Amino acid sequence: MPGLFGVITRRKPDEVRAEIGLMLSCVKHEPFYETGSYSVESQGLYLGWTVLEGSFSDCMPIVDSAHNRTLFFSGQNFPDGNATSSLRSQGSGANPKDASRLLDAYELDKQSFFSSLNGWFCGVLADTDKGEIHLFNDRFGIGRLYIYEAPDGFYFASEAKALLKVRKELRQIDPQGLGEFFACGCALENRTLFRNMSLLPGGSKWTFQAGALVRKAVYFSPAEWEDQAPLAPDAFHEELDSTFSRILPRYANFSKPTAISLTGGLDTRMIFAYLDAGPGDFPCYTFSGKGRDTFDLKIARSVAKACGQPHSTIRLDPKFFANFPHYAERTVYISDGCHDICGAHDLYFNASARDIAPARLTGKFGSEVLRGVRMLKAQPPALDLFDPAFRPYVDRAGATVASMEGEDKISFTAFADIPWYEYGRLAIEQSQLTFVTPFTDNELVRLAYRGRNAIRRQDDIPLYSILKHRPDLLDIMTDRGRQGGGLLSWMSRQFYGTFLFKGDWFFHNMPQRYAEIGAFLERLNVGSLFHGRHFMLDYRSWFQHELKDYVRDMLLNPNAAIRHFVNGEVLDKMVRCHLNGERSYLDEINKALTAELIHRQLTERY
């Protein structure tokens, strides 16, 4: 995905520039990426970058007129109206549509510059006047930077593979990070999957002088938002209405042309309720599996039609299955092992979506920020899968998550769930197009802390907002059966949101305790009544049928690297039982395949 890659050191310039070239050689994932490199030798800074062509960051390096300061910025910034007006009043001639204006903002107010940034980003600011280099990222840590404090320099990169390419001592799996991946789907507490490599904490501003790290500071702490006074429900809803109306244009107008990835739920419907859109301004699309149209797809079409926007369906076709090893390998490679094999479709979908528009506006994280949905949990596979020497690392992950339970729920979502668990999918999405959502805007997340007392039911916030601005959109059923109120709403929820949803979930996952019943019902073809009504993906079945040869070749190989961490006999039994339809080991196979590719694509590749 687009990002920054660099070294701060006092080593010989030619030697370090060669390393930057090697870093760049392994991170240009698509032909539409632009790349570049730059050095400030007097400060020991050597840096390279990749950007999506025509994106906000496609203007580096950003140098002031006196050549005293140089800024490198990867990501997005959504300034409020006051900041934009201040720059105009100061006569800034920089392009407001790209990052070149940020250096003017720094000159205008150095003290609050970093805290004023709003978006997902990482950056480097070299100030030759002061002899300082500042390494920084967004307050959530979504603009990820992998870091390595080597004896001969400080390394940083938006992608771990860039560091693995040039530092062979990093090409070892960290057992604690891998144990957390098996238990939670991600490494925790700013760890990574690789030894001696960590993540720059969110909201960081680390300072270097004379090629050495001299200060690890933060410009933001979650406590600033946690300590706010709560609002009464009515006051909160009024403030939310005002805030969302004000911030949405920042995202809808961020990049053109922009399409909306539309679902049958409430978060994208809330965007349309506030969106000032003429007919055809925002083409919509919905992702779909290879079978029947899901309720999500059918409802999304209705929402797009009601809003006067064209709608397209992006489907998985036979090409995806025929080339699954390619998509699986690239998914693990591009995401540095942060997105699993059962996310390979995300690469396929987002590459196809780029053909519709290079920018994607989405309701992502609306459920997490405004509705309390939590994704990061400790749910390890069957523990007998693991080698006795490795199992304690998996167990420890559960204890780590349990120790975080006492944290503020919104802080857990914003500063752990999203930047750690959700990052892998974001990495894939952002590798293909410009990805924006209003639901992690600084103003909106800050306000969410004050709304704890306003949420009586999970959907209160989006329902209130939609009802106020586009009540007609509530006449369209949601993907979980919600529509209006009264008896009709109750009956639809029972049928769509309970009976059909849970039936599809059952045949999609086939829980172990019901394996024999499930296998019997599948032989009677009962599953066909439910399959694909809610879930467009069916990796359980795909691993058993379309992808069985791939699974067999990867995991029944006695030389597979994953066998250093698992009990080989147990893994073999699980794979054979799954392929034969006797049991479902979807999670175990998914994690094992992903871990195997982490070794092949990352630690063993160079």
Residue 469 is predicted with a pLDDT of: 96
Domain boundary among 164, 191, 220: 220
CATH code (residue 434): 3.40.50.620
Question: How distant, in Å, are the alpha carbons of 63, 96, 160 from that of 72?
Answer: 9, 16, 19
208 and 298, same domain (yes or no): no
Examine the pLDDT at 216 and tell me if it is beyond 90: yes
Residue 355 lies in a domain: yes
We report the CATH number of the domain holding residue 33 as 3.60.20.10
pLDDT above 80 (res 522):
no
Residues 325, 472: one domain?
A: yes
* In-domain check, residue 77: yes
Considering only residues 285 and 87, tell me which one the structure prediction assigns the higher pLDDT. 285
Query: Does any domain span residue 101?
Result: yes
Q: Say if 366 falls within a structural domain.
A: yes
The pair of structure tokens assigned to 306 is: 């009601």
**Are 111 and 209 found together in one domain?**
yes
**Are 234 and 214 part of one and the same domain?**
no
Domain boundary among 434, 456, 479: 479
- Residue 213 belongs to some domain of the structure: yes
How would you list the strands of the sheet with 284-288, edge to edge?
311-315, 284-288, 258-261, 359-361, 434-436
Q: pLDDT of 402-411, one tens digit each?
A: 999 888 999 9
pLDDT single digits (tens) 89-116: 454 555 668 999 999 999 999 989 999 9
153-186: per-residue pLDDT in tens? 999 999 999 999 999 999 999 999 999 999 999 9
In a domain, 39, yes or no: yes
Same domain, 210 and 284: no
Separation between Cα atoms, residue 431 and residue 33, nearest integer Å: 9
Overall number of domains in the chain: 2
Contacts 24+ apart (CB under 8 A), 392-397: 392/179, 393/175, 393/176, 393/178, 393/179, 393/180, 394/179, 394/182, 394/183, 395/179, 395/183, 396/176, 396/179, 397/176, 397/179, 397/180, 397/182, 397/183, 397/184, 397/188
| Residue 56, token pair as written in the block | 């906000």
In order of 13, 162, 519, 593, 603, the CA distances from 336 in angstroms are: 28, 10, 36, 14, 10
Whether residue 206 sits in one domain with residue 335: no
Domain end, chosen from 169, 189, 220, is at 220
Q: Let me know whether 273 and 212 are in one domain.
A: no
Are 216 and 305 found together in one domain? no
312 and 461, same domain (yes or no): yes
pLDDT, mean of residues 129-149: 97
The pLDDT value recorded for residue 89 is 47
Q: Of 68-72, 130-134, 478-482, which range is least confident?
A: 478-482
Q: Has residue 601 been placed in a domain?
A: no
* Residues in Cβ contact with 474 at an 8 Å cutoff, skipping those fewer than 6 apart: 463, 466, 467, 483, 484
Task: Judge whether residue 503 has pLDDT over 70.
Answer: no
For residue 345, tell me if it sits in a domain: yes
Q: The domain containing residue 121 runs over which residues?
A: 3-145+200-220
Same domain? 343 vs 426: yes
Do 207 and 246 have their domain in common? Answer: no
Residues 444 and 464 grouped into a single domain: yes
What secondary structure, in 3-state letters, does 189-238 show? CCECCECCCEECCCCEEEEEECCEEEEEEECCCCHHHHCCCCCCHHHHHH
For the ranges 79-93, 494-508, 536-550, the lowest mean pLDDT is seen at 79-93
